[in-house]
Structure 1
Amino acid sequence: MSLVLDALPTPTAQAERLVALGVHDVAGLSPTELRDAAAGAGDALLVVSPELAPVSALAPLLRYRGRPGFVVPDMTDVDDFGPRDGVPVPDGPAYLVEDLQRGDDMANWSPDEALPAITAAGRTPLTLAEGVHWLLQCPGVLERNRCFMTIGSRLRRPSGALDARTPALWISNGTGRDGRERRDAPKVGWCWAGNRHTWLGFASARRRVPVAGPLTSRN
């Protein structure tokens, strides 16, 4: 089973955390709108739509051992990675994701192997934006040798074919193009869909649900 060290805060506390980080400003929402989105929600992760708060803007808000997060240099198209077919994401500026798991039990599986196992279990793979939001609320979920992929997001090429890259969240060793100054920084990167990595599980959830109230109808 997946081991998660940080318990998810209440949605109300999550909204306050996002406001403190300035995510509402990135998304063009008011603090009240984020707080209203969390009102009355149960045990779930509050996610702001990446159409309003793109991953490229949120990644630097991540922290691990005081280091800010970053996107790898060869993923300048990170914001073009959207939900793959079969991964329904509610419309609107924000939504909720229930029953998160890091997927440690699938470490050393390839994305191509993990996806059918996740769906067969009645679960849905996390998108990259959802993974980033989880770490904004629960930084301790990211551990060395226990990081995770977010294969609910894929990039579709103009031809209609899927790009072979699958996004992931892990911790930089400060080598190569990352630079020594980024050692221990949380990292938004990618792996090939057919490759296996011993330190990467596959994050998933039970379901996504719209938030209650007028925020769902905002354009």
Structure 2
Amino acid sequence: MTATAPRPETSGPPALPPLAAQVERLVALGVLDAAGLDAARVHDAVQAVDAPGLLVVDRGLVPASVLTPLLRLGDRAGFVVEDMTDVDAFAPTDGLDVPPSPVYVVTAPDRGDDLGNWSPEEALPELAARGRSPLLLTEGLHWALQVPEVVERNFCYMTIGSRLRKADGAYDARTPAVWISLGTGRDGRERRGAPKVGWCWWRNRHTWLGFASGVDRLAVPLDG
């Protein structure tokens, strides 16, 4: 087991709102319009879901590049780092079961704070041993849209359910993550404190990045 460096205390992110409230949040942000989904149908559909969790619109309908600018911390808008222009090409890893549904629910999302200072390579089998599935980048973004406080200084997260395949079939060594810009380098000072989507190396450790995961993904069938 990897030793974890001392970290500041945190009470963890606030609880997710009920699914019906999450629908309204996605309506207000324009996510359902961008996905071409009827808000009333989605609202009706979630009434039949008997498990709480995170409501997610499929990445094929609203990719990371669309979701990220909708993130907010204070008055700072989210952004994707400049050297990740291929962000939307990061796809579910082999063996990760995503429902073939326009919308679905991720149950029991967890930020993985206790896995800070683990590498993605080390964290993936640990999550599997716990019966958990790593979040996709778009799932992690939906969480931050619903609960902006989940992106917390010193307690941000990787979303290693999304990886990029290279031409030779191997995975790219980059793994996506969501954290807070310090306003340095190419981010620019004006983005200090903004939520950002970037990447970390597969074998590197970061004390301030956990590993977001869930237990199940439940399809939300839309009638009509």
Question: What TM-score do the two structures reach when normalised by structure 1?
Answer: 0.95
The 2-side partners of 1:3 and 1:110 are apart by 23
Deviation digits for residues 157-182 of structure 1 (CA, Å, limit 9, x no counterpart): 12111000000000000000000110
Written as runs of structure 1 = structure 2, the 5 A alignment for 1:104-115 is 104-115=113-124
Q: Name the SS for the 1:9 alignment partner.
A: coil
On the 8 A contact 1:54/1:79 being kept in 2, the answer is yes
**Residue matched to 2:215:** 206
Q: How many equivalent pairs are there? A: 215
Q: Name the SS for the 1:201 alignment partner.
A: strand
Q: Which runs of 5+ in 2 are unaligned?
A: 1-9
Whether 1:55 and 2:73 are equivalent positions in the alignment is no
**Residue matched to 2:193:** 184
On the 8 A contact 1:3/1:102 being kept in 2, the answer is no
The 2-side partners of 1:122 and 1:87 are apart by 13
**Residue matched to 1:100:** 109
The 1-side partners of 2:125 and 2:11 are apart by 22
Q: Which runs of 5+ in 1 are unaligned?
A: none
On the 8 A contact 2:58/2:104 being kept in 1, the answer is yes
Written as runs of structure 1 = structure 2, the 5 A alignment for 1:31-110 is 31-41=39-49, 42-110=51-119
On the 8 A contact 2:123/2:211 being kept in 1, the answer is yes
Deviation digits for residues 5-53 of structure 1 (CA, Å, limit 9, x no counterpart): 2110000000000000000111111222331332232311110001000
**Residue matched to 1:161:** 170
**For residue 96 of structure 1, what is the amino acid of its counterpart?**
V
Q: CA deviation at 1:213?
A: 4.0
Let me know the Cα RMSD of the aligned residues.
1.5
Q: Name the SS for the 1:177 alignment partner.
A: helix
**Residue matched to 1:145:** 154
Question: What TM-score do the two structures reach when normalised by structure 2?
Answer: 0.93
Q: CA deviation at 1:131?
A: 0.2
Query: Is the deviation greater in 145-154 or in 25-34?
Result: 25-34
Q: Name the SS for the 2:69 alignment partner.
A: helix
**Residue matched to 1:12:** 20
Q: CA deviation at 1:214?
A: 2.5
* Percent identity between the two aligned chains: 61
**For residue 43 of structure 1, what is the amino acid of its counterpart?**
P
